[in-house]
Amino acid sequence: MRTQVGIVGAGPAGLMLSHLLHLQGIESVVVESRSRAYVEQRVRAGVLEQGSVDLMCRVGLGERLQREGMRHEGIELRYDGQSYRVPMTELTGRAITVYGQQEVVKDLIAARLAAGGSILFETEAVRVENLDSAPTIYLRQGGRDIELHCDFVAGCDGFHGVSRNAVPDGVLRTHERTYPFAWLGVLAAAPPAVDELIYANHERGFALYSLRSPEISRLYLQVAPDEDIADWPDERIWAELRTRLETVPGWSLNEGPIVEKSVTPMRSFVVEPMQWQRLYLAGDAVHIVPPTGAKGMNLALADVALLGEAFAAWYGEGRTDLLESYSTTALRRVWRAQHFSWWMTSMLHRLDSDDPYEAKLQTATLRYVASSRAYATSLAENYVGLPLS
């Protein structure tokens, strides 16, 4: 098989890149190890920055997002028995939209297939080779081996992907932090008791109240990194959520059947540079942020917005400048998001059970956000996202 850009991974990064290339008349093939049903149902992120919403609209995929997505103009912080609303739109003129990642993925898959695009599901990229001259992706599909030859490879295959491994040892530099906690995430068939997200700092640990629709709530609890999900029957989850979130008089959450639950470890991770020879890496394949800042999917989309333009300049006018500057430009946004995600995580989670100093610093920081327009604006402009460069 042959194509212009071979894309490994049908997450938000790989699918959006394929769509952007199609709009520029550039051919691509997306290879995805999982089935279509699996990637369309995988529950993950839920917050789209304004820039991601603008991108979806610009590429003709804004219709369902505008109809079903929920625009939020603020978030609430709960700490020390108090509550503070960060008025994001008042402070920045921008907003976020709650729209599940799997909805973005469904919209992109539908658009690619309707345009005759090629997405090979249940096809695993085993390795990538010849990146200096004639890139080849070696695939396995139902016991069959296939070679996909291309001009460029886009490695959009997430943290556990293989494309990064094609780079020889010593070329890439990895920066990493792991956190001594994880998130237990649940999806509940319960009408949300909120119309904006609540981020709660509690002495028993962090909790987050989010939502997916007028009928479905999305909630998270800070738990131990090695937490066994079997130790968390629904009753225990609701009891812990009540303790950590019902800290404001007269407010209570809505309970309902839990339809999905999982534990996600938290890490910060960056690989530099994001390109080697004819391999361009994007999204979770090269950077991970803890989810507290809601940045992961947005960074993945921002990377491929740049990459799409760079390929268009190369195929259209033979220009190499945007391909050459891709990694440097993308990493500026990546490191801003790394800092913001680390900062939100540090401010909101229980860090060290024996040291009250950390908790005192957190309360001081939260009080400062609640009392200083400058500090609240800094949080808000990072949360809604800086404009795509």
Stretch that binds ligand RFL, among 28-36, 82-90, 232-240, 351-359 (CB under 6 A): 28-36
Residue 291 is a catalytic residue: yes
Binding site for ligand PHB (CB under 6 A): 45-47, 197, 210, 218, 291-292, 294
Tell me: does residue 264 bind ligand RFL (CB under 6 A). Answer: yes
Helix (H) or strand (E) segment spanning residue 90: helix 88-92
Alpha-carbon distance of 238 to 233, in angstroms, equals: 9
Tell me: does residue 13 bind ligand RFL (CB under 6 A). Answer: yes
Alpha-carbon distance of 64 to 1, in angstroms, equals: 34
Of 6, 46, 192, 385, the one binding ligand RFL by CB under 6 A: 46
Side chain identity at residue 44, one-letter code: R
- CB of residue 85 vs ligand PHB: minimum separation in angstroms? 16
Stretch that binds ligand RFL, among 158-166, 191-199, 229-237, 343-351 (CB under 6 A): 158-166
Instruction: Give me 113's structure tokens.
Output: 């297939």
CB-CB contact of 369 with 375 (8 Å): yes
Tell me: does residue 306 bind ligand RFL (CB under 6 A). Answer: no
Alpha-carbon distance of 288 to 103, in angstroms, equals: 21
Site string for ligand RFL, 169-208 (x = CB under 6 A): --------------x-x-----------------------
Alpha-carbon distance of 176 to 267, in angstroms, equals: 7
- CB of residue 60 vs ligand RFL: minimum separation in angstroms? 20
**Residue 99 site contact among ligand RFL, ligand PHB, none (CB < 5 to 8 Å, cut-off depends on kind):** none
Beta bridge partners of 186: 219, 261
Residue 72 is a catalytic residue: yes
**Residue 34 site contact among ligand PHB, ligand RFL, none (CB < 5 to 8 Å, cut-off depends on kind):** ligand RFL
- Separation of first and last alpha carbons in the chain: 35
**Residue 218 site contact among ligand PHB, ligand RFL, none (CB < 5 to 8 Å, cut-off depends on kind):** ligand PHB
Tell me: does residue 65 bind ligand RFL (CB under 6 A). Answer: no
Of 155, 205, 290, 296, the one binding ligand RFL by CB under 6 A: 296
Tell me: does residue 44 bind ligand RFL (CB under 6 A). Answer: yes
Give the nearer residue to ligand PHB in terms of CB position, either 21 or 75.
75
Least Cα distance to 181 among 352, 383, 363 occurs for 352
Give the nearer residue to ligand RFL in terms of CB position, either 82 or 162.
162
Alpha-carbon distance of 372 to 387, in angstroms, equals: 23
Residue 383 is a catalytic residue: yes
Angle, helix 296-317 to helix 321-348, in steps of 10 degrees: 180
The number of angstroms, rounded, from the C-alpha of 145 to the middle of its chain's C-alpha atoms is 32
Least Cα distance to 150 among 321, 283, 304, 1 occurs for 1
The number of angstroms, rounded, from the C-alpha of 386 to the middle of its chain's C-alpha atoms is 15
Residue 135 is a catalytic residue: no
Give the nearer residue to ligand RFL in terms of CB position, either 227 or 358.
227
Residue holding tokens 């333009």? 309
- CB of residue 314 vs ligand RFL: minimum separation in angstroms? 22
CB-CB contact of 28 with 18 (8 Å): yes
Tell me: does residue 290 bind ligand RFL (CB under 6 A). Answer: no
Tell me: does residue 158 bind ligand RFL (CB under 6 A). Answer: yes
Residue 38 is a catalytic residue: no
CB-CB contact of 133 with 279 (8 Å): no
Instruction: Give me 47's structure tokens.
Output: 């917050």
Residues annotated as part of the active site: 72, 199, 291, 295, 383
**Interface contacts to ligand RFL, rule CB under 6 A:** 8-14, 31-34, 39, 44-47, 101, 124-125, 156-158, 160-162, 183, 185, 264, 283-284, 291, 294-298, 300
